[in-house]
Amino acid sequence: MPRLRQLEQYKKRIALVVCFCFGIMVFAPAVLAAETETAILEPVASGVTVLSNEKAMIDASNAKDGYIMAAYKQPTDKKLKLRITGPDKVVYTYNLNSDGKYEVFPLSGGEGNYSIAVYENVSGNKYATAYSTTMTVMLTDEYAPYLRANQYVNYQADSEVVKKAAELVKDKPKSLDKIAAVYQYTVTTLTYDKEKAKTVQSGYLPDVDQVLAEQKGICFDYAAVMTAMLRSQGIPTRLVVGYAGDVYHAWINTFIPQTGWIEGVIYFDGETWKMMDPTFASSAKQSKQIMEYIGNGSNYTAKYLY
């Protein structure tokens, strides 16, 4: 009888979620489209709005979609940096490639005023401003910055990680089911690379297809793979860098139409939401102790969103 009662309660919760989802359809068309069919949203340097000088250029044509594209105009042997400061006053500093090709960077601070600057190395750890500009951003919606690839979550429509995601979610029309499938695959397939964790260098960026092929990686790799998979399925997903306790760490957040932004969550089990920390869950084989730890949001402090 207790199990039967729990089942009935769970059915009621599902019914409430379905009703609530229907009630907000008009407010979240882009996200709810993920419930039916998925089109890969790829960043484009449209060339409509380009801010530049003789050294560097910023394509802001699609800033409303939550990203800019930046490049140093000519190939160079200089080290380059890009710095973005948004309305939340968080300063994001990136390494910029030196081959003269555009890279994609998210506007993680939301709507408002941004300052953007490209710096070139002059000697040692000293950098000089190559170009700087400001811009005001109005987003199509709050989750726009987390639906496309960028420098930290780098994939294309033909990437293996995208193909694997499509395979995993086949016949799963609901976002929540897709998230659960991708999560379970990640935590049961990837293993934590302790040697890589010891030797990884500052500025490291995940190659999501390589991580998938090798089936191992560090926390940054886990988070990037899962973020790429979910974004390719039209599910807004943040790659979060911050602290788990006092350890620098990476995990993810997702947007679910029925609930909104879920801070570090994977699924609702009928009682509570569970933290979406694929690294800890995988390396600890989803032990009871570690699942309790990642289920407690107070153990996590976000610093950067990508």
Amino acid identity for residue 6 in this structure:
Q
The 10s digit of each residue's pLDDT in 134-191 is: 999 999 988 999 999 999 999 999 999 999 999 999 999 888 889 889 988 988 898 8
Per the structure, the count of domains in the chain is 2
**CATH at residue 118:** 2.60.40.10
Per-residue 3-state assignment (H helix, E strand, C coil) for 219-243: HHHHHHHHHHHHHHCCCCEEEEEEE
**CATH at residue 250:** 3.10.620.30
13 lies in some domain: no
What the block records as the tokens of 68 is 């800019």
The rounded mean pLDDT for the chain is 80
pLDDT of residue 298: 58
For tokens 């060339």, the residue is 47
13 pLDDT higher than 50? no
> 194 with 282: CB under 8 angstroms?
no
Q: Which domain holds residue 112?
A: 50-146
What the block records as the tokens of 43 is 């960043």
> 182 with 230: CB under 8 angstroms?
yes
pLDDT of residue 250: 79
For tokens 């084989």, the residue is 285
> 209 with 159: CB under 8 angstroms?
yes
Same domain membership, residue 290 and residue 189: yes
The 10s digit of each residue's pLDDT in 246-268 is: 666 678 888 877 777 766 444 33
Same domain membership, residue 124 and residue 71: yes
> 137 with 154: CB under 8 angstroms?
no
Same domain membership, residue 170 and residue 126: no
For tokens 């991580």, the residue is 211
44 lies in some domain: no
* DSSP-derived secondary structure letter, 78: S
37 lies in some domain: no
The 10s digit of each residue's pLDDT in 78-92 is: 999 999 999 999 999
Q: What is the dihedral of CA 284, 287, 290, 291, to 10 degrees?
A: 120
What Rg do the C-alpha atoms of the chain give, in angstroms? 20
Residue ending a domain, among 146, 172, 190, is 146
- Segments of 111-206 assigned E as strands: 112-123, 126-137, 191-192
pLDDT confidence bin for 297, thresholds 50/70/90: low
The 10s digit of each residue's pLDDT in 61-120 is: 999 999 999 999 999 999 999 999 999 999 999 999 999 999 999 999 999 999 999 999
Q: Regarding beta strands 237-244 and 300-305, do their DSSP bridges make them parallel or antiparallel, or are they unpaired?
A: antiparallel
